[in-house]
Amino acid sequence: MALLKIVLYPEPVLHTVGKPVEEFDDRLKKLVGDMFETMYEAGGVGLAAPQVAVSERLFVMDCSSSEDESQKFVMINPEIIHVEGSQEGEEGCLSFPGIYQKIQRNQRTIVRYQDLNGELQELDGMDLTARCILHETDHCDGIVFLDRMTVLRRELAKRKIKRLQKTGKWE
């Protein structure tokens, strides 16, 4: 396995709708293995393919951050089929190092996706799991968490990003 380079905002690939995954082959298995390694190394709980410059609809997730096998998920061609409730909580994103901001998300979501073998699966997630599924599915649609902030919070975040870019801390 290999560590992949995580691309930072505003790389165009982060704002591009990913292509559906069609081939469940060795290339995909290697990509997923590398994405898990990259996510754990970076200390994240989720990582989507566009964040490693692959414009495809998949992400890896482990909200336990413990490399517990039962908490490791690969979601390929994810589709949100149900949402309910709402929660507000702080989010970060590996493509926005040092930026944390409160984001409104649904409290619960049911996602339908394909696993590494192409089999259809569903996961019913609450709280942090729901937040992570929604954040990562957004990446597959070319949406970043900045787009989900209130206008005021987005302006604050953009100002901080500009400061970090100027001082060479955005890389």
Residues that bind Ni ion (CB under 5 A): 93
Give the SS3 label for residue 106: coil
Q: Give me 6's structure tokens.
A: 């995580």
Q: Give the residue at shortest CB distance from Ni ion.
A: 93
Peptide bond preceding 20 in cis form (omega within 30 of 0):
no
Using alpha carbons only, give the angle 61, 37, 77 rounded to the nearest 5 degrees. 40
Nearer residue to Ni ion within complex by CB, 31 or 60: 60
**Catalytic: 23?**
no
Report the nearest approach of Ni ion to the CB of residue 82 (Å): 22
Nearer residue to Ni ion within complex by CB, 77 or 137: 137
Nearer residue to Ni ion within complex by CB, 93 or 133: 93
Q: Work out whether strand 101-105 and strand 108-114 pair parallel, antiparallel, or are unpaired.
A: unpaired
Report the nearest approach of Ni ion to the CB of residue 142 (Å): 12
Report the nearest approach of Ni ion to the CB of residue 7 (Å): 11
Using alpha carbons only, give the angle 170, 13, 86 rounded to the nearest 5 degrees. 85
Which is catalytic among the residues 37, 136, 155, 171? 136
Active site residues: 136
